[in-house]
Amino acid sequence: MLRRPISALLTAALVAVCAPACLSTRSPGSSAPSPARPSLPPADVPVPGSPAQTPTSSASDTPRPPAKPSPTPDYRLPIVGSSAAITGKAWTNMLSWRKRIAEFSKEHPDRVVLNGPDRPRVALTFDDGPDDRNTLSVKETLDRYGVKGSFFLIGEYVRQYPDVAKKLADDGHLVLSHADRHVELTKAGEDEVKASLRDAAAEIKRAIGREPAWLRPPYGETDERVVQAAASIGSGIALWSLDSLDWSQTEPEPIVQNVLDHVRNGDIILLHSGKDNAVTAKALPSLIEGLQAAGYELVDLAALLDRPAYLE
């Protein structure tokens, strides 16, 4: 496969961002989206987010080609991704969370996953939907490029927009659980955690007729109780290995550059498609084109992990 220099990829990214096809999916007011989600915890709360590197991102001279598959079956990736918009204590907490959750996942290899196998395939995953604008805009872009996405939906929003959840499923995208409300499950009582997971799964089943086999806890906050609560309803926990940190940006270019700079074989890429994530919808065409040009196949989570998306 011929690979273009990264400068060409980023030029293509700028063109794609400004192209009419992309503008047609832009929701009203998306030119100045909020730089952070309203549900973002304060700076002293660990937030899933960037690599154990300095919070800067610069383009390399050549695109990162997919690595050759490793003979080691235990293929574990550190969580990466950076944003110059995140500094100080918030950045330190992110790095601390990443290290802690990576160690925790090793204790539960069959229940908690951060990435897929060492093959040139990645999965685009989207949190915090559904809504009636950005989720649909993301879906339309994915459909246009023939890419299947994996959507971790919040139960209370599925109750508001069941038709959006159904459209996602009907067009072949995965509809998975992001709990019933966007709160830190590790700070909730055991009964509250179990109720949140059951309620979200029930809402999704009402909307699409199937019950998800994967949970992504809000903020990625996971502990032993959350793992056991998920297991009690048949769910595994799918986190991520590459954080786009899209919620921290007001323009699409840094999102695209961050992902292209850090992508590796088997990455589960964290993005968002909620009501405050119009910038993600704007970045998506350039992101898809850049990943494909670098030689990566874009698949859904079930295909990446070779594990079912729904309970039988």
- Residues 181 and 156 sit within 8 Å (Cβ to Cβ): yes
Q: Which residues pair with 238 in a beta bridge?
A: 113
- What digits encode the pLDDT tens for the residues 218-271? 999 999 999 999 999 999 999 999 999 999 999 999 999 999 999 999 999 999
Is 272 catalytic? The answer is yes
In the chain, count of helices (H) and strands (E)?
11, 9
Q: What is the pTM of this model?
A: 0.80
Measured between alpha carbons, how far is residue 2 from residues 5, 261, 268, 299 in Å?
Answer: 10, 18, 25, 21
What is the token pair recorded at 176? 């998975």
What residues does 115 pair with on adjacent strands?
Answer: 267
Instruction: Determine the Cα–Cα distance for residues 86 and 280; give it in Å rounded to an integer.
Output: 17
Q: Where are the alpha helices (DSSP H) in 66-189?
A: 88-107, 134-145, 155-160, 162-170
pLDDT in single tens digits along all 312 residues of the chain: 434 444 444 444 444 444 433 333 333 333 333 333 333 333 334 454 433 333 334 444 444 555 554 445 689 999 999 999 999 999 999 999 999 999 999 999 999 999 999 999 999 999 999 999 999 999 999 999 999 999 999 999 999 999 999 999 999 999 999 999 999 999 999 999 999 999 999 999 999 999 999 999 999 999 999 999 999 999 999 999 999 999 999 999 999 999 999 999 999 999 999 999 999 999 999 999 999 999 999 999 999 999 999 999
- How far apart CA 308 and CA 312 sit, in angstroms, is 9
| Set 173, 178, 262, 272: catalytic member | 272
Residues 223 and 226: their CA atoms lie apart, in Å, by 5
Q: How far apart are CA 310 and CA 174, in angstroms?
A: 9
**How far apart (Å, rounded) are the C-alpha atoms in residues 102 and 252?**
28
Domains detected in the chain: 85-305 (3.20.20.370)
pLDDT at site 41: 39
Q: Which two tokens stand for residue 144?
A: 């246009």
Measured distance CA(173)–CA(164) in Å, rounded: 11
List the catalytic residue out of 127, 180, 199, 243. 127
Which SS3 state, helix, strand or coil, does residue 33 take?
A: coil
Please give the pLDDT value at position 74.
Answer: 87
131 is catalytic: no
Q: How far apart are the first and last CA of the chain?
A: 39
For residues 83 and 245, is the Cβ–Cβ distance under 8 A? yes
